Amino acid sequence: MDETTELAKGAAKALFELYHVVTHDLLSSELSEAIDTWNIVARARNEGRLFSKIGWPRDPDIKEQVKRLHLLLKVKDSSANIPKNLEARRRLEFFTNSLFMHMPAAKPVSEMMPFCVFTPYYSETVLYSTHELNKENEDGISTIFYLQKIFPDEWDNFLERIKQDNSGDVELQENSADALELRFWVSYRGQTLARTVRGMMYYRRALMLQSYLENRSLGVGNPQASLSTEGFELSREARAQADIKFTYVVSCQIYGQQKQKKDKEAADIALLLQRNEALRVAFIHVEESAGSDGKIVKSFYSKLVKADIQGKDQEIYSIKLPGDPKLGEGKPENQNHAIVFTRGEAVQTIDMNQDNYLEEAMKMRNLLEEFKQDHGLRPPTILGVREHVFTGSVSSLAWFMSNQETSFVTLGQRVLAYPLKVRMHYGHPDVFDRIFHISRGGISKASRVINISEDIYAGFNSTLRQGNITHHEYIQVGKGRDVGLNQIALFEGKVAGGNGEQVLSRDVYRVGQLFDFFRMLSFYFTTVGFYVCTMMTVLTIYVFLYGRAYLAFSGLDQGISRRSMLLGNTAFNAVLNAQFLVQIGIFTAVPMIMGFILELGLLQAIFSFITMQLQLCSVFFTFSLGTRTHYFGRTILHGGAKYRATGRGFVVQHIKFADNYRLYSRSHFVKALEVALLLIVYIAYGYTQGGAVSYILLTLSSWFLVISWLFAPYIFNPSGFEWQKTVEDFDDWINWLLYKGGVGVKGDNSWESWWDEEQSHIQTLRGRILETILSLRFFLFQYGIVYKLHLTGKNTSFSLYGFSWVVLVGLVMIFKIFTFNSKKSNFQLILRFIQGVTALSLITALCLVVIFTDLSVADLFASFLAFVATGWAIISLAVAWKRIVRTLGLWDSVREFARMYDAGMGMIIFAPIAMLSWFPFVSTFQSRLLFNQAFSRGLEISIILAGNKANVQP
């Protein structure tokens, strides 16, 4: 019996069984109702007349498809066929789920909308060099060793591809092909230009594959060939079609200068051009020539190049510019000079730290059809695209940041786009209607300072010109985020400063004027509203605590409580003793929790939230609350927001104490100590009906804020409680604190230079007046404590406050005696004698005052706190009016006072760290806390943290 007869019989049997199941199990409630029908069908089957005229297809292509259908319906995958790699599972899961989402039907490649991808690049890492791969940090950990432990399965696959065994360290020759592939393997796992280029070139690969399959199905070329995808990259038709529909332009602003200097970045960019024939690089070329008057005249050109057959740069276009294009912010200017080289009707803006996936590139044709869909009254001008943050799989901080970003770019953008209709351009995967924006001012505004957040101004520009911005979640693009606390803080500071500049911009004013009432309410939650709300939260904390301090100093809290008890006014008493919960920052995590519920389900969301709480996510979010408030408020008061480079390294390393102190001193530490001072004043002089227990309950959230702002940089610092590193950090901090500044000395090396840099934001008279008004709040402590001392009793004379200033001046003079330093050797003995006599006299006077007056030791401590606050107010006023203080010759004294304050704040923060570093289990617990994600995935993070690769045996 031949194959065709067997197949026909098998097909007939399968169709009968399908018919039996459908009619018997699905359509008929009782078999007895259709017994006659079943008898006829059974008799026909036995006689061979059922499906007797079925024609089995002889076409090999269709036969192949039937076999595939049979496999899909009958064969079940075993667990062995499920990818071991978690990233592969995630990508497959999202891709299969996205196929069931609502998306427009894709047109053939020949009829699709042509588009361009556009990436600005300055001087970031293009490709890791061999030296950078093997370079070890202070812990003895190299980049290649780190990646081997973080991506063990991918490393094994790489070794298999280059035909190397995994018996030990892989040693490759410097210029060999395998060494180059190793450089690419490492670069594809960092945030490099090579990774971005590879991801974006998947668009071309996907179009080539789709065009190839469409041509084969239409019989173009060889109509007898099967639908195999082998050799699609060699098809001229497919390559030509992809090149017509897709272009990729990377705007490397200083590529010409890098080539002249023969930098390795230029060589790496040239290598990318050679490996990607569709890649185009735009850069600014400067030519110098002698003018008519003998002066050198510079001419600026915007050039576009590609790689020729020999691998050299081939110039495609050269456009003379009217002058130096670097007038405003660097990134938008980098985009503006090269936007003319983009092609097509759509342009996708991609950042340097992004990635793409082949399966997602397959859906780009569907996404572009959204421009022709109905999205309301106005056609879409920007298509929002979902982002996947791929840097959240190792540390807890990276996980927090990843979840926070995911909730913002999915749940947040979804709601802003529909139903609120107030979504702006929030993500660099967004696809622009190129014709619309080119004719309306471009995709970037580049005015210096005010347009530091150039992406959101593209959204303002589109909305104000009657455009429509949508959001689509069936396609996603990879996005790298910062993974260390310092990097996260710098990024949030940059964004907060950018939002502060938006408040001052005409664009936001015009949006507010033109939106209707309901869209204006919605707009409050999109950009600046979030930061205004955050700042108001922190300001409310200050108002709440300063109000408490005032009630404590004046005694009104006790009087009000007793009066409310006598009158039975329990509501007023409850308001007075309310716990201030909103300040702990946990409410900023509410959108993330909702995103968990929608994406993962309620049960998994609960587990994830509990895990994050155990990893101290509340500490992180409370700390971020202070970061946003500080930079947003500073920009509102003084302006001058600036771009902050965060760095994109991925080796987990310890941050020195001095580095953290420099970064967070004014944004968190000073404010946390002020809140602590308010709480101490409240516990000393405030009235609480329930005693100590009520005080703890009332101030618990406030103390949580203080601890989070003071110690979060060290809690989330790898090896932050390791004794040896703590000792080294202390030595480094002392050297930094005492090192003299000068011309050319950076703030990283000297406290004096850093202190000068911290004052650079105060530039205007308005800013000085505002700083003066804000600094007056510190005098409240001195004024209130003076009249609460046992020494003063119930005397309320204003002369007591004046006498406290006399005491303060005396203390300042004593401080000057102790800090006075003379270079004359013959005066040193007299100086030491005067200092010794002054110290003994001061101690004797304090003892006599305590013994013979009503002044107590508690009063001395309270006076110390009052003078600390007053001294800080004097320093703040001196910094605000620096020129006047310098003219009076008091600047050096102010600087020494400020150094003393920083030394004291540093010791307050460092003492608990040193104490905890004595106990080895604290460091172990911290490592588990920080890297639980890595431990749960079985990664050898403990080996990485142990350091010194040479001492680690596999």
pLDDT tens per residue across span 577-597: 555 555 555 666 777 888 888
Residue 766 has pLDDT above 60, yes or no: yes
State whether residue 262 is helix, strand or coil. Answer: coil
Q: Which of 57, 74, 91 is the last residue of a domain?
A: 74
Tell me what pLDDT residue 926 has.
82
Tell me what pLDDT residue 932 has.
64
* Token pair listed for 65: 């498809």
What is 502-546 written as a DSSP string?
Answer: HHTSHHHHHHHHHS-HHHHHHHTTTSHHHHHHHHHHHHHHHHHHH
Residue 950 has pLDDT above 50, yes or no: no
Task: Give 384-398 pLDDT, tens digit per residue.
Answer: 999 988 887 777 888
Contact residues for 94 (Cβ-Cβ < 8 A; gap 6+): 388, 476
Residue 207 has pLDDT above 50, yes or no: yes
Tell me what pLDDT residue 819 has.
65
State whether residue 421 is helix, strand or coil. Answer: coil
Are 553 and 681 within one domain?
A: yes
Instruction: Please tell me whether the peptide bond between 419 and the residue prior to it is cis, using omega within 30 degrees of 0.
Output: yes
Are 673 and 820 within one domain?
A: no
Burial of 760 (0-12, 13-18, 19+ CB in 10 A): exposed
107: confidence class by pLDDT, cuts 50, 70, 90: very high
Tell me what pLDDT residue 949 has.
45
Share of the chain above pLDDT 70, in %: 79
**Phi and psi for 722 in degrees, rounded to 5?**
-90, 130
- Residue that wins the pLDDT comparison between 814 and 702: 702
CB-CB contact of 298 with 324 (8 Å)? yes
Residue 568 has pLDDT above 70, yes or no: no
**Which amino acid type is present at position 304?**
L
* Token pair listed for 595: 């995103």
Q: Which residues pair with 290 in a beta bridge?
A: 296
Residue 250 has pLDDT above 50, yes or no: yes
525: confidence class by pLDDT, cuts 50, 70, 90: confident
Average pLDDT (652-678) is 89
Task: Give 218-242 pLDDT, tens digit per residue.
Answer: 655 554 445 556 677 778 888 999 9
For tokens 């703590």, what's the residue?
726
Q: What is the mean pLDDT of the chain?
A: 81
CB-CB contact of 239 with 208 (8 Å)? yes
Q: Which of 41, 57, 74 is the last residue of a domain?
A: 74
For tokens 């009707």, what's the residue?
345
- Residue that wins the pLDDT comparison between 743 and 950: 743
Are 701 and 813 within one domain?
A: no
Residue 727 has pLDDT above 80, yes or no: yes
Tell me what pLDDT residue 26 has.
46
How far is 227 from 214, CA to CA, in rounded Å? 9
Tell me what pLDDT residue 933 has.
62
Residue 104 has pLDDT above 90, yes or no: yes
Are 573 and 669 within one domain?
A: yes
953: confidence class by pLDDT, cuts 50, 70, 90: very low
Are 789 and 699 within one domain?
A: no
Burial of 606 (0-12, 13-18, 19+ CB in 10 A): middle
303 φψ region: left (φ > 0), alpha (ψ -120 to 50), beta (else) = beta
CA proximity to 668, closest of 717, 634, 718: 634
Average pLDDT (526-533) is 85
Give the angle 677-680-684 at the CA atoms, nearest 5°.
140
CB-CB contact of 180 with 268 (8 Å)? no
How far is 870 from 866, CA to CA, in rounded Å? 6
Residue 851 in domain: yes
How far is 664 from 713, CA to CA, in rounded Å? 8
Number of structural domains (the chain) is 3
How far is 525 from 531, CA to CA, in rounded Å? 9
DSSP 8-class letter at 135: -
Are 696 and 775 within one domain?
A: no
8: confidence class by pLDDT, cuts 50, 70, 90: low
- Residue that wins the pLDDT comparison between 384 and 71: 384
Average pLDDT (544-551) is 84
Tell me what pLDDT residue 791 has.
66
CB neighbours (10 Å) of residue 465? 13
Residue 616 in domain: yes
Task: Give 401-437 pLDDT, tens digit per residue.
Answer: 888 888 888 888 888 898 888 998 887 899 999 999 9
Are 671 and 771 within one domain?
A: no
Tell me what pLDDT residue 687 has.
66
Task: Give 323-358 pLDDT, tens digit per residue.
Answer: 888 888 888 888 888 899 999 999 999 998 899 999
Largest CA distance in the chain: 129
Tell me what pLDDT residue 23 has.
59
Structural domain harbouring 855: 765-910
Tell me what pLDDT residue 951 has.
45
pTM score: 0.83
How far is 141 from 150, CA to CA, in rounded Å? 13
Tell me what pLDDT residue 1 has.
45
CA proximity to 209, closest of 362, 34, 437: 362
DSSP 8-class letter at 478: E
Residue 910 has pLDDT above 80, yes or no: yes
- Residue that wins the pLDDT comparison between 17 and 952: 17
- Residue that wins the pLDDT comparison between 838 and 894: 894
Task: Give 441-478 pLDDT, tens digit per residue.
Answer: 888 888 888 888 888 888 998 999 989 999 999 999 99
Most confident of 196-205, 373-382, 790-799, 839-848: 196-205
How far is 59 from 796, CA to CA, in rounded Å? 106
Are 703 and 775 within one domain?
A: no
State whether residue 474 is helix, strand or coil. Answer: strand
Average pLDDT (539-563) is 80
Are 773 and 862 within one domain?
A: yes
How far is 844 from 534, CA to CA, in rounded Å? 50
Range of lowest pLDDT (65-69, 256-260, 794-798): 794-798
Average pLDDT (499-504) is 88
State whether residue 120 is helix, strand or coil. Answer: strand
CB-CB contact of 838 with 817 (8 Å)? yes
Residue 647 has pLDDT above 70, yes or no: no
Cα pseudo-dihedral 931, 937, 938, 944, rounded to 10? -40
Residue 377 has pLDDT above 60, yes or no: yes
Residue 54 in domain: yes
Are 699 and 785 within one domain?
A: no
How far is 594 from 597, CA to CA, in rounded Å? 5
Task: Give 668-685 pLDDT, tens digit per residue.
Answer: 999 999 999 988 888 888
Residue 189 has pLDDT above 80, yes or no: yes
Tell me what pLDDT residue 46 has.
63
Are 668 and 780 within one domain?
A: no
Burial 74-90 (b: 16+ CB within 10 A, else e): eeeeeeeeeeeeeeeee
State whether residue 349 is helix, strand or coil. Answer: strand
Residue 627 in domain: yes
CB neighbours (10 Å) of residue 756? 15
Residue 106 in domain: no
CB neighbours (10 Å) of residue 773? 10
Average pLDDT (645-652) is 59
Are 686 and 830 within one domain?
A: no
How far is 369 from 270, CA to CA, in rounded Å? 34
Residue 937 in domain: no
CB-CB contact of 283 with 121 (8 Å)? no
Residue 595 in domain: yes
Tell me what pLDDT residue 224 has.
46
Tell me what pLDDT residue 928 has.
76
How far is 753 from 450, CA to CA, in rounded Å? 27
Burial of 840 (0-12, 13-18, 19+ CB in 10 A): exposed
Residue 205 in domain: no
| CA of residue 759 relative to chain centroid, distance | 26
Q: Which of 27, 47, 74 is the last residue of a domain?
A: 74
